[in-house]
Amino acid sequence: MGKGGSLSDSVLKKILLSYTYVAIWIFLSFTVIVYNKYILDKKMYNWPFPISLTMIHMSFCATLAFLLIKVFKVVEPVTMSRDLYISSVVPIGALYSLSLWLSNSAYIYLSVSFIQMLKALMPVAVYSIGVLFKREGFKTDTMVNMLSISFGVAIAAYGEARFDTWGVVLQLGAVAFEATRLETSSFHFDFVIFGTNSLCAFALNLAVFLLVGKTSALTMNVAGVVKDWLLIAFSWSVIKDTVTPVNLFGYGLAFLGVAYYNHAKLQALKAKEAQKKAQQADEEAGRLLEEREGEGTGKRSESQN
């Protein structure tokens, strides 16, 4: 803080950059979701092949990444051992691909607005998996919070005008990274449509890297809530998806639960950071005290001599 309590230039720059990363991510995520809906919906472009769309996205991203790193050398390659690659990159990539496939499949059956409401269950899935694998400690108040989110989503599902059980199963499978789907048909491939769609997907991956790398995963969660509300409004006003009052009431309950969860996470991070700073201050004070005692002992020895 400078004079008069004003923010310093460096802090202001960081804040502006953070908001810029959030805005870019929301815009690109918004664009990819609406674009995928347009491609996969039977009443729009009518390409009902979510696996193929995911493969096109991944192939495009992999090819462009290879060109940027190996050919044009715009980005420095990351050195990684074979064991680390197999144990970290492969399972994360597999789960991410599965999540994309299932979430893309859901757009064939469900409205954009309802899918965003179902995504409110993400904190529930993250916390439940964390407890299952002992990465998170079980807390009664947190579990009550998770149940309130689930209850809100259940109400939103009850009030959904275009409820489709299979679509819900696919979307929940995307959240939990588990499910299966098969399809067959043929269609003319439009290079402009799929090229621009894949480019948006690649840009979104870069935006995710920037957002999480330069800010935090918590910031991304909060930004995701804002993006979901924008998508619901867009779906209702532009795509003309039906959004019922029961939908909004249920999602509102889930939204409050997600907001409380993010708030609790933020407070926990602040407490941890404050504890770390206090510990560092105590260590520094102890070191200074030892130095002073050492100097005092040295002076007494000199006076005695």
Give the pLDDT confidence score for residue 296 in this predicted structure.
62
The mean per-residue pLDDT over the stretch 21-26 comes to 91
DSSP state of 238: T
Q: By percentage, how much of the chain surpasses pLDDT 90?
A: 11
Residue 297's pLDDT is: 62
Residue 30 clears pLDDT 90, i.e. is over it: yes
Higher-confidence residue of 184 and 75: namely: 75
Q: Which amino acid is at 102?
A: L
For the record, the structure tokens of 207 come out as: 């935006």
- Give yes or no for residue 298 having a pLDDT over 60: no
pLDDT band at 39 (very low <50, low <70, confident <90, very high): very high
User: Residue 166 pLDDT > 90, yes or no?
Assistant: no
What are 222-253's pLDDT values in tens digits?
788 788 888 888 888 888 888 888 888 888 88
- Other residues' Cβ atoms within 10 Å of the Cβ of residue 199: 14
**Predicted pLDDT at 304:** 57
**Block residue for tokens 């039977």:** 42
Average pLDDT, integer, range 198-226:
82
CA pair distance 251, 227, nearest whole angstrom? 14
What are the tens digits of pLDDT across the range 83-106? 888 888 888 788 878 888 888 889
Q: What is the pLDDT of residue 305?
A: 54
Kindly state the tokens that stand for 66: 């290879």
- Mean predicted confidence (pLDDT) in 241-267: 83
| Burial category of 128 from C-beta neighbours within 10 Å (exposed 0-12, middle 13-18, buried 19 and up) | middle
Element housing 246 (H / E): helix 245-304
178: pLDDT strictly greater than 60: no
> What is the per-residue pLDDT for 60?
93
Residue carrying the six token digits 């309950």: 253
Give CA–CA dist 269/260, Å, rounded. 14
Residues 268, 271, 277, 283, CA torsion sign: negative
CA dihedral 101→152→238→176, nearest 10 degrees, is -10
Question: How far apart are the C-alpha atoms of 179 and 97, rounded to whole Å?
Answer: 12
CA atoms within 13 A on the CB side of 283: 6
Q: Which helix or strand (DSSP H or E) is residue 73 part of?
A: none
pLDDT score recorded for residue 186: 44
In the block, which residue shows the tokens 């996205």? Answer: 57
Burial class (CB in 10 A: 0-12, 13-18, 19+), 83: exposed
Whole-prediction pTM value? 0.71
Q: Supply the pLDDT for residue 1.
A: 46
Instruction: Specify the residue for token string 């579990």.
Output: 143
The pair of three-digit structure tokens given for residue 18, joined into one six-digit string? 């953070």
pLDDT band, very low/low/confident/very high, at 179 (cuts 50, 70, 90):
very low
**Under 8 Å between Cβ of 58 and 50:** no
What pLDDT band is residue 161 in, cutting at 50, 70 and 90? low
DSSP-derived secondary structure letter, 80: -
Mean pLDDT of 5-20: 76
Is 267:158 a contact under the CB 8 Å cutoff?
no
Q: Which of 12-16, 20-24, 171-175, 280-284 is most confident?
A: 20-24
pLDDT of residue 134: 78
| Beta-carbon-side half-sphere exposure of residue 151 (alpha carbons within 13 Å) | 9
pLDDT for res 269:
78
Least confident of 16-20, 128-132, 169-173, 277-281: 169-173
Phi-psi region of 179 (alpha: psi -120 to 50; beta: other; left: phi over 0): left
Give the containing element (helix H, strand E) for 20: helix 9-40
The tokens for 242 are 């039906």
* Average of per-residue pLDDT values in the chain: 80
